[in-house]
Amino acid sequence: MIRLWIDALHFTELFLSSFVHLVYGFYIFSSAVAGDLSQAFHRRFLFPSPKVENKQDFATTTIPNLHTLPPIVLVHGIFGFGQGRLGGLSYFAGAEKKDDRVLVPDLGSLTSVHDRARELFYYLKGGRVDYGEEHSKAYGHSQFGRVYELGHYPEWDEDHPIHFVGHSAGAQVVRLLQQMLADKAFKGHENTTENWVISITSLSGVFNGTTRTYLDGMQPEDGRSMKPISLLQLCRLGVIIYDWIDIPWLKAYYNFGFDHFNMSRKKMGIWGLLDCLKGNSGPFASGDWILPDLTIQGSIRLNSDLQTFPDTYYFNYVTKCTRKILGVTVPSSIFRIHPLFFIRVLQMSQWRHPSDVAPPYKGYRDEDWQDNDGALNTISMTHPRFPVEHPNRHVVDESDCKPLEPGIWYYKVIEGDHIMFIVNRERAGVQFDLIYDAIFERCRKHVFRKNPPTLPNQPHP
């Protein structure tokens, strides 16, 4: 009888969370379409001037110093998208407009940290994406991906380094990319070094995995396989079918990033689809997608190869929307937490690792992982901790840590849920500007290796 009740509760929860996620996805998608249509209408009927589109190019050609500025690259997280996807919608809620030289690459919304890091390199440097021979054989996808005819920063090298800002999984993508640069892992670019990256800032970065992956359907036993009935299974079916149907305009609008798995109906036919659905092929079968990388075990696997480099500047914003009342961790507010996250905040604050399953690492304690932002545990966002703790410093007031020292993970804890600083700018209010202004100002004024850069609005010294 009790068993039945638990099953019923489980299904109700699954139904509710699928429903909430679907509605939210649909809401984002339809607001993107609506935004696009209204923009097209404006351009067509109200301001039919072709110059509007070229504003950016115009600016870059008239200010000669602009190209000497290293770009700040904003890297999206799970379900994210870059400039050009979802019409005019901005994952970073328009923060990219705060500086003259910001890039927002599109790296696939569900692809693995590895595949995103490879993609990001070629997006910047230019060329055909090479996922690596060994990796692509092991995970059953093509070795080569799309071609970036012109890189977005072809002059990128040690003397022209880049600032990276990563949200959520984007932070791990940047760390892995930096490690690949240090390891000289790109064929034909043998002189890469870790110093091609000057700074890494993370917003709610997932350095040590999250217990939410288990709530959504990853198995706590291995952090790699999925529970048979779960939100992630529904997501898996949806993605396979979306990629298989392969409607070009829809995929141009939003892409999960699995093109290198050849899941289109034109390439694998109906038998291929059945094979994928049965779990014999594709990213979900080989585990080359983002969720396994976000489990605690997956993060330990990734982290065991990732270093903190002595000449790179690191700064993390850690989000948290829980607090302790009489020793019990609970959501800190009902109204300030996004409805998409509220149930998860509550569940994560009550998370217990199953007692019949080995803990993900020695010394694991449930109470360390209870504070969270609805998607990630606060412990995971401060700095890389597992399997070994990296140098770090807690920051209360940002003016206390100038000048920043390289090689140390500074972190600041702020009240907010996981999507407080993305997609919708109004939710964070004045905090939104405070955070992004501080990030961009740090990149432009306080973080440099040799001489301070010349800002476009300052006279040349």
Residues contributing to the site for ligand NAG (CB under 6 A) = 141-142, 189, 191, 207-208, 262, 267, 303, 306, 379, 384-390
| β-strand pairing of 392-394 with 409-415 | parallel
- Compare residues 303 and 329 and give the one whose CB is closer to ligand NAG: 303
Give 84 or 387: the residue with its C-beta nearer to ligand NAG.
387
- The minimum distance between CB 143 and ligand NAG, in angstroms, equals 8
Comparing CB distances to ligand NAG, the nearer of 152 and 390 is 390
How far is it, in rounded angstroms, from Cα 198 to Cα 203? 17
| Nearest-approach distance from CB 124 to ligand NAG, in angstroms | 14
Nearer to ligand NAG, 92 or 411 (CB): 411
Q: Are 36 and 249 in contact (CB under 8 A)?
A: no
Residue 197 or 435: which CB sits closer to ligand NAG?
197
Residue 24 beta carbon to ligand NAG: minimum distance, rounded to whole angstroms: 29
Q: What phi, psi does 10 have (nearest 5°)?
A: -60, -45
Which of 141, 236 has the CB closer to ligand NAG?
Answer: 141
CB nearer to ligand NAG: give 285 or 306: 306
| Tokens standing for residue 126 | 């230019």
**Omega before 403 cis (within 30°)?**
yes
- Minimum gap (Å) between residue 208 Cβ and ligand NAG: 3
Name the minimum Å distance from CB 209 to ligand NAG.
7
Which among 348, 314, 313 is positioned nearest to 330, based on CA atoms? 348
Report the nearest approach of ligand NAG to the CB of residue 246 (Å). Answer: 12
302 Cβ neighbours under 8 A, 6+ residues apart: 113, 172, 176, 293
125: which 2 tokens? 């440097």
Q: Which is nearer to ligand NAG, 39 or 304 (CB)?
A: 304
CA nearest neighbour of 202 among 373, 439, 417, 404: 439
Residue closer to ligand NAG (CB basis): 374 or 384: 384
**113-125 vs 169-182: helix crossing angle, rounded to 10:** 70
CA distance 295 to 284: 15
Give the residue with the Cβ less far from ligand NAG, 388 or 430.
Answer: 388
Q: How far is the CB of 4 from ligand NAG (least distance, A)?
A: 37
Tell the smallest beta-carbon distance from residue 29 to ligand NAG (Å).
28
Name 390's Cβ contacts closer than 8 Å, sequence gap at least 6. 308, 383, 384, 409
Residue with smaller CB distance to ligand NAG, 35 or 126: 126
Q: What does the alpha-carbon distance between residue 413 and residue 40 come to, in Å, rounded to a whole number? A: 41
Least Å distance, CB 192 to ligand NAG, is 8
DSSP run (H or E) holding 330 = strand 328-331
* DSSP states of 176-207: HHHHHHHTT-STT-TT--GGGEEEEEEES--S
Sign of the torsion formed by the C-alpha atoms of 234, 240, 243 and 247: negative
Beta bridge partners of 165: 74, 201
Q: Which of 443, 432, 442, 455 is nearest to 398 (CA)?
A: 442
Q: Is 96 exposed, middle or buried (0-12, 13-18, 19+ CB in 10 A)?
A: buried
> 144: which 2 tokens?
């080569």
Q: Which one, 175 or 338, has the nearer CB to ligand NAG?
A: 175
Task: Give me the least distance between CB of 306 and ligand NAG, in Å please.
Answer: 6
Residues in contact with 148: Cβ distance below 8 Å, sequence separation at least 6, in sequence order: 122, 123, 126, 127, 128, 129
The minimum distance between CB 379 and ligand NAG, in angstroms, equals: 6
What CA–CA distance (Å, rounded) separates 246 from 273? 12
Measured from the CB of residue 226, what is the shortest distance to ligand NAG in angstroms?
22
